[in-house]
Structure 1
Amino acid sequence: MQKIKVTIWNEFRHEKNDLPVKAIYPAGMHRAIADGIAAEDLEIRLASLDEPEQGLPDALLASTDVLFWWGHRFHAEVADALVEKIQRRVLGGMGLVALHSSHMSKIFRALMGTSCTLICRVAGERERLWTVDPSHPIAAGIGRCIELEREEMYGERFDIPDDGHLIFNSWFEGGEVFRSGVAFQRGLGRIFYFAPGHEEYPTYFHADILRVLGNAARWAAPVLPPQELRCEKVPPREQLGRAR
């Protein structure tokens, strides 16, 4: 069995510098996700912002089938050159799973081509993620909704492109709604944005959230060998009808 190579990238600073967050995720949110989705068909590697080459040296990125990305406060520190490399890999077939505040990451905004802005509020309110498309592979094994006791509110309008496929739609205790699980295609790469995952709450220990993320890793895996998309001059397949 050929394993799907998953790299989970995380800023990994909240967990080191914020004691309440460290108490929930002492080894980092990326480790909690890795442990929660671990399976025979996934080969999982971890990466973080403060590692050499910001955690993604060329060899690791080139061998990644699906890249998970958790970012929040330090989007600006991610090197533009790295963002360009990731974008090329996604267009060539690598999958991307953008988590929580990664809606404002350089890579997600570059691939969406929009501001990706929204409204938000941290008030520890109940969230229900309603399964809009239960037939989608990412929703496999998920019931009518996922209920989280506490999460950060993200609300509309969410400025993302209209070509996204809606899988989950959230309702929050304060009354707002939000497109919280949306799938996209860019080039040959599949992208899934999934909103839950504020660092102050134990969201990445919730069984259904982890099931969604495991499903996303498998759905986003490349279906073709990696390619460099470029314009090509090609000869005609049929004989042209007149002299040139």
Structure 2
Amino acid sequence: MAETNNTPRGLRVTVWNEYRHERDEARPAELYPGGIHATLSEALREGGLQNVRTATLDEPEHGLTEEALAETDVLLWWGHRAHAEVSEEVVDRVHRRVLGGMGLIVLHSGHFAKIFQRLLGTTCSLKWRHDDRERLWVVDPAHPIVEGLGEYVDLPEEEMYGEPFDVPPPEELVFVSWFGGGEVFRSGLCYRRGRGRIFYFRPGHEENPSYHHPEVRRIVNNAVRWAAPRPGAAPTHGNTEPPESPGNS
């Protein structure tokens, strides 16, 4: 059978990372010496994805040129303290690609990314606190993103995010988190915008080792495959002539 872009070899993935904390803060540098993007890329390659590249904020055009995005089927996005530095031109570019079918996976503090706020149309605000434990409950056991998991995933060290989370109701809710302080949070949310699939996944604070956790790595791999573009009818927009009647052929 011919290989498609949805197979591990054919699927083209770009991991985008702000890459600031790991360069000038001790704890993130210890946990992610090559950057969060390098750790996530390693996890994807271990999961069987062959065509994985990285891009960071301080590269020209943030590493997300027209050419790079044209060769990306799924984009992973991790950002935190420099959301305002992402250029509007690049946000426009990513927005067009998502509407056209590119998958987007937004990680942890990427909830405040310009592209996520634009696609969802809300502030994406929440409450937070450092240094807590998290139990990530699977609330949709049949969803492809939870394939291979048990009922829950325990993360002994994470940052707490709490409701209310100012986002539109998700089209599919995959995970709900409980924290040691009693807070809960919708931690795995699926949306569709245009032809693109979007998944927001909460864990991944830069001072915690979550991206080394085997079940978190499995979730990220599953999410990339879920978000991959699907073949379908090409849409037609604008003023058009009526289609030819079958009786006239």
TM > 0.5 between the two?
yes
Deviation of residue 226 (structure 1)?
A: 11
Q: Which residue of 1 aligns with 2:230?
A: 223
Match 1:236 to one of 235, 239, 242: 242
Deviation of residue 230 (structure 1)?
A: 7.1
Residue 80 of structure 2 is aligned to residue 72 of structure 1: yes
Superposition pairs of residues 95-114 of structure 1, within 5 angstroms = 95-114=103-122
* Alignment check: 8 A CA contact 1:93 1:226 kept: no
Normalised to the residue count of structure 2, the TM-score between the two structures is 0.91
Pair 1:112–1:103, CA change in 2 (3 A): same
CA distance in 2, matches of 1:42, 1:161: 34
Residue 65 of structure 2 is aligned to residue 60 of structure 1: no
* Alignment check: 8 A CA contact 1:97 1:191 kept: yes
Q: Which residue of 1 aligns with 2:128?
A: 120
* Superposition CA RMSD, Å: 1.6
* Alignment check: 8 A CA contact 2:74 2:228 kept: yes
39-48 vs 93-102, which moves further: 39-48
Q: List alignment gaps of at least 5 residues for structure 2.
A: 5-9
Between the two proteins, the alignment pairs up a number of residues equal to: 237
Deviation of residue 225 (structure 1)?
A: 7.3
Pair 1:232–1:77, CA change in 2 (3 A): same
SS of 2:197's partner is strand
Q: Which runs of 4+ in 1 moved over 2 A?
A: 39-42, 224-227, 236-239
Question: Any idea what the Cα deviations from partners look like across 1:11-63, whole Å, max 9, x if unmatched?
Answer: 01100010111011100011111111214344110110011111111111111
Q: Which residue of 2 aligns with 1:196?
A: 203
CA distance in 2, matches of 1:235, 1:163: 37
Question: Any idea what the Cα deviations from partners look like across 1:108-166, whole Å, max 9, x if unmatched?
Answer: 000001111111111x2110000000101101111100000010000000011124310
SS of 2:176's partner is strand
CA distance in 1, matches of 2:169, 2:209: 31
Q: List alignment gaps of at least 5 residues for structure 1.
A: 240-244
Question: Any idea what the Cα deviations from partners look like across 1:147-192, whole Å, max 9, x if unmatched?
Answer: 0001000000001112431000000001100000001100000000
CA distance in 1, matches of 2:171, 2:109: 18
* Matched residue type, 1:10: N
* Alignment check: 8 A CA contact 2:170 2:189 kept: no
* Alignment check: 8 A CA contact 1:146 1:208 kept: yes
CA distance in 1, matches of 2:74, 2:155: 26
Q: Which residue of 1 aligns with 2:214?
A: 207
CA distance in 2, matches of 1:130, 1:170: 6
* Alignment check: 8 A CA contact 1:168 1:182 kept: yes
159-168 vs 35-44, which moves further: 35-44
- Identity of matched residues, %: 51
Pair 1:171–1:86, CA change in 2 (3 A): same
Residue 93 of structure 2 is aligned to residue 85 of structure 1: yes
* Alignment check: 8 A CA contact 1:10 1:30 kept: yes
